[in-house]
Structure 1
Amino acid sequence: MKKLTTLLLALLIQTICSQTASAQDSNAALVPLPSVDDFSRGKDGWSLGLGFGVEYETAYEGSDEFGLEIEPAGGLQWRQGDDVYFFAGEALGWRGVRANTWLFEALIGFDEGRKESDSDDGHLRGLGEQKEGAELVLQARRAFDADWRYWLVGRVVTGSDGNLGLFGVGRRFGSQNDGSGSEVNVVVVVHDSEYANKGFGITAAQAMASGLKQTDLSGGLRSVGVNYNFRSYVDEHWQIYGEALYEYFGSEVRDSPIARSSYEAEIGVGFIYLF
């Protein structure tokens, strides 16, 4: 009787594990990374996820002021095999997997710019306002194996205000293939002089209006950083996600009068409903 009970228990556990694996396979994301939105549940065609997130972050790049901000989350996607086309907020793009270990992404997004009113303490007074502008973002990740446990990442952001590059390594935690779990990335960020001066430079006219020292950056190392992403399914329709970011500026950026802090930080959490 004891042997029969043990056998039945083993069969029950095997059945549950098999069903879980099958359900997970049917909900396989394009890549099993929490930082990559995928609302397809492993199926081709249209998918939609809508929600919101609450972020506690610096008021602008280099600021020592922090505040809460509510942001929309989710987007509209169309999947065809290993390719996903998406519209999310102010970004329109494509991402695709090749050879199981390459993830490519291209999108057109918008830089929000900067307003003098972004600083409640008046630290941007006299610097004028930067208008919102379009940017092209190209990104590639190369996994060391098809399980996407470790990978290399490279990203280029280019627009009318200069160019930025990001290079790093990532690590995924958990064995799920539905996009849930967590991951961490360690990155190095570089920028050219035009992009550097957009955020941290001060022209002669701005110096006269603001009283700050005229500053002209040459480009190079912008920062080193680490970011953490988390995603979990509450049920069939609800996702909860979270992100934490810390970026430590290079010496040239820290020397700018605009950089009142040596780092930038952000933490956020949100919910997405899958239709």
Structure 2
Amino acid sequence: MTLSSLARLALAAAVATVFVSVAAVAQPFDGPDSADDGGDWDFFIGAGVSYEPEYEGSDKYETEALPGFQAVWRDRFLISPRGIGAFIVNQERLRVSASIGYGGGRKQKDSVYLTGLGDIKDGIAYNLGVQYDLGPLVATADVTKFGAGSKGTLVSVGLQSEVPFGVVTGLIIPTGQSPRDAFDERGLVLTGGISVDWADSNYNQAFFGVTPGQSAASGLSQYTAGGGAKSVNAEIGFAKALGRNWGLTGAVTYSHLLGDAADSPIVKTQDSLSATLAVGFSF
């Protein structure tokens, strides 16, 4: 069973941890060498590390370990420590996924810049994702509604792509096959994508606004953040098989805050970079 489609499900599920997204990218490493044993379940375990801002808008960074696990049933249902997801539609070009999980908060202790702003609670998060294959590109749209904390809505639209490194260097002549169908020939694969995030006023006010009480406690100016485009993002990464079931993946993402989010007194810089590196084993 090919798990490449579940990579997009995990990436679309905002309820998943950063690791689950990275782990999902690694899942196509099964490749032609790993024959399906006919079972209903497929499993993935792995570990990685991330380097990212302390919070969105911070100019200080932190490094975190990313252990993780996920189980997939019949290439349709996914279970991870952070939630569950399933395909509603799973056609050759069109995939629609839905998931329920937990998260979406922020801790005051995450950064000295957040002192006096209080915590944003974690809670149930509902996600609906759509992916449509456009040949060399995949168009994506994801909507996440948070049931606690900000109680806001976050929307992301973008384009993703995969290119075998041999094609870039001229060592491989494209044949029209999907890179996933010729994994043994493509070797190192470059991945990339661009996206735009939109957030409603509830989300932006929770993460970027400053209430009168927060202003008094933090010393920051009062600020009301409305809804609108929140950020633009660009990502480049790689995926590499390390044997029959092992895989290594990494990515670097650049983000630029926009609109009311960018103008918030909480924001120390509008531009940020984040990076992830993970190794995993599928069975």
TM-score class normalised by the smaller sequence: 0.7 to 0.9
Distance 1:190 1:142, change over 3 A: same
**Pick from 122, 128, 148: which aligns with 1:138?**
128
The answer as to 2:207 corresponding to 1:199 is: yes
- Deviation digits for residues 40-96 of structure 1, max 9, x if unmatched? 7655511111111101110111111101100123411111xxx42111231211136
**Pick from 114, 123, 147: which aligns with 2:106?**
114
SS at match of 2:114: coil
- Deviation digits for residues 95-132 of structure 1, max 9, x if unmatched? 3663311122211122252222111xx21111111221
Specify every segment of 5 or more residues in structure 1 that has no aligned partner in the other structure, as ranges: 1-26
Q: 2:170 is matched with which residue?
A: none
Count of residue pairs the alignment pairs up: 241
Give the structure with the larger helix fraction. 2
Higher relative contact order, chain-length normalized (CA < 8 Å, sep 6+):
2
CA RMSD of aligned residues (A): 2.4
* 1:155 shift after superposition: 0.7
* 1:263 shift after superposition: 2.2
- Deviation digits for residues 141-165 of structure 1, max 9, x if unmatched? 11124xxx21211110112311011
Q: 2:163 is matched with which residue?
A: 173
Distance 1:33 1:88, change over 3 A: closer
What TM-score do the two structures reach when normalised by structure 1? 0.80
* 1:271 shift after superposition: 0.9
Q: 1:99 is matched with which residue?
A: 91
Which aligned pairs between 1:240-251 and structure 2 lie closer than 5 A?
240-251=248-259
Q: 2:115 is matched with which residue?
A: 125
Which aligned pairs between 1:1-275 and structure 2 lie closer than 5 A?
28-31=2-5, 36-37=24-25, 38=27, 45-79=40-74, 83-95=75-87, 98-119=90-111, 122-145=112-135, 149-160=136-147, 161-174=151-164, 175-177=179-181, 181-275=189-283
Distance 1:110 1:77, change over 3 A: same
Distance 1:251 1:228, change over 3 A: same
SS at match of 1:123: helix
SS at match of 2:45: strand
Specify every segment of 5 or more residues in structure 2 that has no aligned partner in the other structure, as ranges: 12-23, 165-178
Give, as a single letter, the amino acid of the residue that structure 1 aligns with 2:215. A
- Deviation digits for residues 1-36 of structure 1, max 9, x if unmatched? xxxxxxxxxxxxxxxxxxxxxxxxxx6434396864
What TM-score do the two structures reach when normalised by structure 2? 0.77
Distance 1:44 1:150, change over 3 A: farther
Structure 1 window deviating more from structure 2 (186-195 vs 128-137): it is 128-137
Counterpart CA distance in 2 for 1:209 and 1:29 is 49
Counterpart CA distance in 2 for 1:124 and 1:208 is 13
* 1:134 shift after superposition: 1.5
SS at match of 2:204: helix
Give, as a single letter, the amino acid of the residue that structure 2 aligns with 1:262. Q
SS at match of 2:5: coil
Determine if contact 1:73/1:272 at 8 Å carries over to the other structure. no
SS at match of 1:213: coil
Counterpart CA distance in 2 for 1:230 and 1:46 is 26
